[in-house]
Amino acid sequence: ASQLDRKREKLRCLLHYFYRVTELLPTGSITFTRRRLGTAAPDWVNSTRSFDQLRVHVNASGTIEDSGPCTIHVDFANHYLGGGVLNRGCVQEEIMFLLQPELIASCLFVECLDNDETVIIEGTEQYSTHVGYGNTFRWVGDFQQSATDMTRDEWGRWKRTIVAMDATSFSARDNQFEQSKMLRELNKAYCGFCDNLAPHRKLPSVVATGNWGCGAFRGNVYLKALLQMMACCEAGKSMAYYTFDDAKLRDELYDMYQFLSSSAITVVDRTVLWPLFLVEECTREINFLHKIPIHGQPKSSSGLLRSIIRIYREKFCTSGLPSVSLSFVF
């Protein structure tokens, strides 16, 4: 498919929206809440949360939008909200904005997101259905929100909560394993999931997400999944993870979650972040970035975790450095 075909399909979504709203004027309201983490960032090094408190469902079928009104829908956002929705872009964020065109209004007034900022959007309505992704994207037809089980709240908003959060774009894949880069992603995800920021009320208890920042932004899917699990755990949320038809990844991520939860491993209290912080100080012999191939997909994610634990214990736990039980550098 050509770029012209893609733009034609995007235009069909927008024209269908205008057809609908001229036939019947929309009612209700939509709210956009910009939130900044600032000094509310968790003290990750002293966290007492453990993975056995986290509930995770991993699904190869369905989409984030299918997860219903009781979840936070993660928008894999550009730091300029909407990304290329009005240009050539046609990936997760742009498709979300095309199916719910009222989201496009945010492009007018939401400034570039900083590293500790996200946007909570509540009340948008879906008007279209689609198939495909990128060059295969196609408008399929009308979608009637009123025909679903979704209802409105006391403000007239559809009970849909979206969090727009931008991942870091990495020109060099290895950079994402640097301490500062991982902490940035952790804090960004926590800023999107937690209840203690604006609008200062309890958000849905389940985060519906997927391979955040793992396409054009070149994120490592295993690392990003684990960072989101950590953020969910710290925020007291459950997770519904969609692998977008990748059954192998579904099995690997659930296996990894099972290992973490059954071992009652804590999120970071001298358990996860200590070995991450020490990565940059390790020699090539024991540097996990060289010990473990990060570009290929490991055969077993939990097996990889166990290997890293063994390597770390052998090298560090007898040498006077902090005793730890997990590193998740892939």
Q: How far is CA 229 from the centre of its chain?
A: 10
Distance of CA 241 to the CA centre of its chain: 9
Host H or E run for residue 120? strand 117-122
Calpha distance 37→318 (Å, rounded)? 38
Which DSSP helix (H) or strand (E) runs through 119?
strand 117-122
Cα(254)–Cα(45) distance, rounded to whole angstroms?
A: 25
Catalytic residue among 23, 43, 52, 94: 94
133 labelled binding-site residue: yes
Whether 93 sits among the annotated catalytic residues: the reply is: yes
For 305, the token pair is 């975790």
Catalytic residue among 9, 65, 75, 234: 75
Q: Is 195 a catalytic residue?
A: no
**Paired residues of 163 in beta bridges:** 74, 120
Helical (H) or strand (E) element with 180? helix 179-193
Helix (H, G, I), strand (E, B) or coil at 186: helix
**Directed axis angle between helix 301-316 and helix 247-262, to 10°?**
40
Distance CA 237, CA 205 (A): 5
Residues 6+ apart with CB under 8 A from 101: 13, 14, 17, 127
Is 75 assigned a catalytic role? yes
Q: Which of 133, 59, 49, 146 is nearest to 96 (CA)?
A: 133
> Is 92 among the annotated ligand-binding positions?
yes
Q: Select which of 43, 52, 66, 93 is catalytic.
A: 93
d(CA 271, CA 264): 11
- Is the Cβ–Cβ distance between 255 and 305 less than 8 Å? no
CA–CA separation, 34 vs 216, rounded Å? 25
Q: Was 254 annotated as part of a binding site?
A: no
Give the residue numbers marked as catalytic. 75, 93-94
Where is the binding site for substrate, in residues?
78, 92, 133
Which residues make up each annotated binding site?
A: 78, 92, 133
